[in-house]
Structure 1
Amino acid sequence: MWLTNKLTIYIYILFFLSSCGGSQERTIPIQDFFEKTEKSSFKLSPDGKKIAYLGLEDHCRNIFVLDIVNPDSSKQLTYQDNMNVQYFFWATDDSIVYSNSQSFEDSLRLYTIDVRYELSKLLIPVDDHRIRWLNTTRSFDGTILALMNKRDSSVFDLYRIRLDGAGSTLIDQNPGNFSSWFASNDGKVRLVMSSDSVEETFWHRTEEGMPFNSVIKTDFESTVFPLGPVKGNVNSMYALSNLGRDKLALVEMEIQHGKETKVIFEDKDADVNREGYFFSNQEPLFSAVYKNHKKVTVHNPKLARIYHRIQKKFDDYSIDILDVDSMFNTLIFKTYTDRNPGSIYYYHADKDKIVELTTQNPKLTERSFGEMEEVAFNSRDGRTIKGYLTYPLKAQKSYPIVVLVHDGPNRRDVWGFNAEAQFLANRGYAVFQVNYRGSTGFGKEFFTAGFKQWGGEIQNDISDGVTWLIHQGIADKDRIAIMGSGFGGYSALYAACFNPTLYKCAISSSGYTNLFTYFKEIPPYYQQYLKLYHQIIGHPTREYELFKAISPLFHAEKVNIPILFFQGGKDRHSSVTDANQFVQKVKNRDVPVRYIYKEEEGKRFRKDENIIQYYQEVEAFLATYLN
């Protein structure tokens, strides 16, 4: 009877909220949070005279071009009506290369389009293989560099693709262990990286066609990430490196001997982020680190003056540099806060003129949201764990809490406008995001502390954070939910199995239920990283008992809190069969489970109607079980 009554209430709330969610002044409609942005992916042409972007047309993303000198000549270039343009870049001042597909799960086809005459050509019909790009997409002598796995699905070979549509030429065949290739400033590939999954080796050659020589070796705990060449020097590069240090630093390296020659920027508390290097300028223009907020340090003096001018005009906003031309005449940047999704602008330096390109979401205004506050607490083993707490506008003595666990685990949450967190806060929940051990950005010791801890210390960090919220009087201990996607969904299911007294309910989207099959679903081109997966997660054969102990499928009998479970039929990371078995086991115990299966979706829901349904279900579920 209890289950029947609860489900009846749940269905009623779902109907009520979906039909009149916007009737109250305080409640912002779901569509306003998660509708697609009208314009995105703004990119400058190499000469800085035009801006290309993706715009919505007939519910599909197409390429548009804005002429900065003559805005009236702006135009639409592509006319996809059943596929999205997924990715594009300027190859020359007058040509754009782009790819499209019906979803991110499909293979891509590659095209080029002449901006002047709006003529499109099919370059590569990638029906049964995939393309990866190098550190530059710049055109050299009418060709672009690309990696394709058409010879062998498990490895990527190096090709030059002709922009006139005359095909491609194989430059280097992958011996089997090359994982990354890096172009010099003359378009030649002199540096590659090989991986046996646990160790990585950088190989250098003086010219194409010559043999490679080993120059740098790193283990799975250390990182060297090449950013690009040093201007005028094919034997030097800029890179992010934590060799001999805990945090990633921006350095200059002499390639032939693999030695650091200069430390350009480092921070004692955080990794330097992978942004700021622009191949068109062939220098790192700025460095960024994420602490409580994002901190930007500009290295180029001319750009520093421009950045300072922009900061004065947007004093209360964070500013992200998205693109800049080689002469520093035109710059594209984004402004935002934790309560405002912000806008994107271009800045014309000669005229000291700022022009708005788009508002990220004009329906969401700053006065509608609460603040996102950084918090820190100590885990049970004494480690400092950081995170964020997003509050509802209406202050309360204690709050119902939604613990929103990030995917990865090798990712992190950052300060800024988070539509999902603000949607939940708008419904009255305080949203808790934890950068548990194993998250990136905090140095290699913190990152490696999460190895083989998927069902151990990582989960303890999350639950320790919740306990801290309760002790601080922030959380209402009887109204706490846990929610996430991918690894975050796994954490929600893990909590339902092993921490049911801490949480009132759990929401999982594409959460991993069985880590044995997680390894079986790895695509062939990820096989070379299998040993690294074993180091980070564990070995399904040698550590059989560990995998069984931390896979929710084998502990469904312990679940006694309601679960909302979403699963995509095309999700390569989470087995549909295992998800079905887990849900059925929980249902057999008369525990409330709401299972939403979308055959056409992958790990992330892409269709508008499915995204809206997802959050309608989340809203009704939380309203039911957090009272």
Structure 2
Amino acid sequence: MAMAIAFSSCMRNGAVQIPVNEFFKTPQKSAFKISPDGKYISYLKPYKDRLNLFVQSLADGNEHMATSFTDYSLHDYYWTYNDQLVFSQDVIATDQLKIFALDIATMKLHLLMTGNKVRMRVISRIKEDPNIINVAMNKDDPTRTDVYRLNIKTGEIKSYLVNPGNFTEWFPDSDGKIRLVKASDGVNETILYRADDNSPFKQVITNNFKTRVEPIAFTGIKNNFYALSNVNRDKTALVEIDAETGKEVKEIYANSNADIMGVEYSKNRHKVEYASWEEAYPQKHFLDKCMAGIYKNFEAQLKGYEIKIIDRDSSENKFIINSYTDRDPGAFYLFERKKCKLTKLGDINSSIKPDELCAMKPISYNASDGTLINGYLTFPQGRDSTNLPVVVMPHDWPYGPMSRNSWGYNPEVQFLANRGYVVFQVNYRGSTGYGKAFHSAGFKQVGGKIQQDITDGVNWLIANKTANPKKIAIFGGGVGGFSALYGVSFHPGLYNCAIVQYGVINFFTYIKDVPPFFKPSLQMMYEMVGNPETDADQLRAISPVFHTDKIKAPLLIFQGAKDPRANISELNQFVIELHKQNVPVSYFLKENERAFFKSERNRMQMYTEIEKFLDTNMRVKQ
């Protein structure tokens, strides 16, 4: 019966009820890229519930199915300079990483390497030798990521840059050679520079972890580089830095209201084309007249859409762009500069009809200590704006470089709004984009002011009569899942129920059991979350695993058995203890899934269960 409800279309509150599968099916086409020579478009497309690689010739428009995996989807893929594609496959059952190369001329596939519990990412392509790419891998030591030169013709792997143990990021020049690295002792962060491959690295910048310097690219003038920096300022700015001295040469662009969070860069001209940031909505400031003209063309043809450049060919004549709104998952286009031609390549989800979905509206309120908190409200169609059922959605891990809610299309938000719920997203203190002071105000506050910001937001919705105080749910993943459990533990009666995806239930094991590759950042986690030795009382006081007696509201829990951050035996015991406390718990543990469910079948089951759970516990009338 539940499946019949989930996959039928009916009317709710005057709006068309969209089937679950239309929100959460695998994208029709995604991860578009263009070959460096501009002759081919590549993308991922589902085949038997797995994402596979497809290549389309721009000369004749013919599409070729390059892979036909039915066990696991492709993970990441990259073009080389000689029309080769390199990609990886995460074999979840055995925790293996397989790396393949595909020759476009012959469409022949060959396995380059297999590694157990290995993580890999491509750092750069090498212009002087198109068969070589630089890859960062932890194949020799699970706790240390080194850089290797991988020959995609022969599969030969040679050491290029041995990590002394504290290198965390690598930044190549336009030729693909690594000349800047970032190192961390967990508290202090250091930028090191070398003039060429034969020179030693030297320290040029050292900052406390609260301060950020993120290199972008070399400017082509002397040894200067562009970077995002909040040194001696609260809001991150786009600056130019002398790599020899580490000194800031000039500030290129800053915004007094928000951190600059992204840039678009021309490799050919060694020039930043625009800086971007987020206030209520995404914003851009153009630093290049040519790119400003291109975007003006985009905006004329795609009115009302947010637009991003995804990829470009080496000559910077052909671009892949992505367009989207809060109500439209969007589409991909090919833009040919010389022809001034925009051609649609594919929709992410053509089943979605934007006029049936709901607007995401920016909001702000004052927390109980006076701090201004921002967020978003999405109201269901056809509903009065008062006394409505609300689903609170706190975001995940608060301390990463892009840890926040943003304006744009979110299938979970639209699914819940379509089912008649107001969706409340909070950018609590610790969230990024609002400056250094606001970000650092969240340190060691995962069970303190961060949770209070969420609670204050719920009380604000009740006070202004948006929320029906008897119909409020909380739903989150990761640290957002912790916030959901914290809410029903320490604010009894505020929430009807909680939904938890890959949630943190014990900060002791969460910190202790970090994957080996995360070890260099462990000290930073102590500073941001807490030290299991010196902050033991604090971590015990907030970890849900120690407070099952406080939980009374119904819970719905989802977990992937192969999530490297999860302690499955502890989670199983947590659920058993909740049952002993007579807490209504529905628990779904999925084999061969990590934190995020990649199987379409598992996703459909999860959101069908979420729909039933909310209908039961929020008693929303059909």
Measured against the shorter chain, the TM-score band is over 0.9
Indicate yes or no: 2:275 matched with 1:287: yes
1:543 aligns with 2:532: no
2:311 equivalent in structure 1: 323
Contact 1:321 1:332 in 2 (8 A): yes
Q: Unaligned 5+ residue runs, structure 1?
A: 1-11
Alignment partner of 1:64 is 2:54: yes
Amino acid at match of 2:40: K
What residue number does 2:397 align with? 408
User: How much has 1:441 moved relative to structure 2?
Assistant: 1.3
Q: Distance in 2 between matches of 1:404 and 1:471?
A: 19
User: In the alignment, is residue 343 of structure 1 matched against residue 331 of structure 2?
Assistant: yes
Q: Is 1:440 paired with 2:428?
A: no
SS at match of 2:150: strand
Q: Deviations over 1:139-184 (max 9, x none)?
A: 5413111122222211112211112215021122222212222212
Question: Which residue matches 1:372?
Answer: 360
Mapped to 2, the partners of 1:15 and 1:79 lie a distance apart of 30
Q: Distance in 2 between matches of 1:158 and 1:567?
A: 33
Runs of at least 5 residues in structure 2 that lack an aligned partner in the other structure:
none
Pairing 1:533–2:521 present: no
In structure 2, what is the equivalent of residue 193 of structure 1?
Answer: 182
Q: Calculate percent identity across the aligned residue pairs.
A: 38
**Match in the other structure for 1:584:** 576
Assess, with a 3 A threshold, how the Cα gap between structure 1 residues 170 and 375 changes in structure 2: closer, same or farther.
same
Given that residues 215 and 225 in structure 2 are in contact (C-alpha distance below 8 angstroms), is that contact kept between their aligned partners in structure 1? Answer: yes
Q: Secondary structure at the match of 2:500?
A: strand
Structure 2 residue corresponding to 1:150, chosen from 139, 146, 162:
139
Deviation at 1:79, TM superposition (A): 2.7
**Counterparts of residues 249-328 of structure 1 (less than 5 Å):** 249-279=237-267, 282-328=270-316
1:384 maps to which of 368, 372, 377: 372
Which residue of structure 1 aligns with residue 470 of structure 2?
478
Instruction: Give the CA deviation at 1:227.
Output: 1.1
The Cα of 1:275 is off from its aligned counterpart by 4.1
Partners of 1:124 and 1:167 within 8 A in 2: no
Provide runs of 4+ in structure 1 moved above 6 Å: none
Cα gap change, 1:157/1:16 in structure 2, threshold over 3 Å: closer, same or farther?
closer
Query: What TM-score do the two structures reach when normalised by structure 1?
Result: 0.94
Cα distance, 1:103–1:190 mapped onto 2, change above 3 Å: same
In the alignment of these two chains, the number of paired residues is 612
Q: Give the CA deviation at 1:414.
A: 0.5
Which moved further from structure 2: 95-104 or 517-526? 95-104
Q: Tell whether the 8 Å contact from 1:202 to 1:216 is kept in structure 2 after alignment.
A: yes
Write the distance in 2 (CA, Å) between the matches of 1:562 and 1:426. 23
In the other structure, the counterpart of 1:179 is: 168
CA 526–280 in structure 1, closer or farther in 2 if over 3 Å, else same: farther
Residues in 2 aligned to 1:404 and 1:559: alpha-carbon distance in whole angstroms = 19
Aligned residue type for 2:159: L
Asked if the contact 2:91–2:98 (Cα under 8 Å) also holds between the matched residues in 1, the reply is no
Indicate the residue corresponding to 2:615 in structure 1. 623
What amino acid maps onto 2:49 in structure 1?
H
Q: Does 1:107 align with 2:99?
A: no
SS at match of 2:204: strand
Aligned to 1:8: none
Name the aligned partner's letter for residue 419 of structure 2. Answer: R
Cα distance in 2 for partners of 1:65, 1:458 equals 45
Question: Cα–Cα, structure 1 residues 358 and 57, in superposed 2: closer, same or farther, change >3 Å?
Answer: same
**Residue 129 of structure 1 aligns to which amino acid in structure 2?**
V
Matched, 1:48 2:32: no
Deviations 1:211-237 (A, max 9, x none): 22111101110011111222365x221
Residue number in structure 1 paired with 2:587: 595
Tell whether the 8 Å contact from 1:509 to 1:567 is kept in structure 2 after alignment: yes
**Cα deviation per residue 1:463-497 (whole Å; 9 max; x = unaligned)?**
10000011111111110000011111110000110
SS at match of 1:605: coil
Structure 1 residue 93, shift from structure 2 partner:
4.7
Tell me, what secondary structure is at the counterpart of 2:133?
strand
Mapping 1:220-235, distance limit 5 Å: 220-231=209-220, 233=222, 235=223
Query: For the structure 1 residues 128 and 475, does the alpha-carbon distance in structure 2 shift closer, same or farther, using more than 3 Å as the test?
Result: closer
Sort the Cα spacing of 1:281 and 1:399 in 2 relative to 1 into closer, same or farther, 3 A: farther
- CA gap of 1:103–1:344, structure 2 versus 1, over 3 A, is farther
What displacement does 1:585 show?
2.3
Q: Is contact 1:226–1:240 with CA below 8 Å preserved after alignment?
A: yes
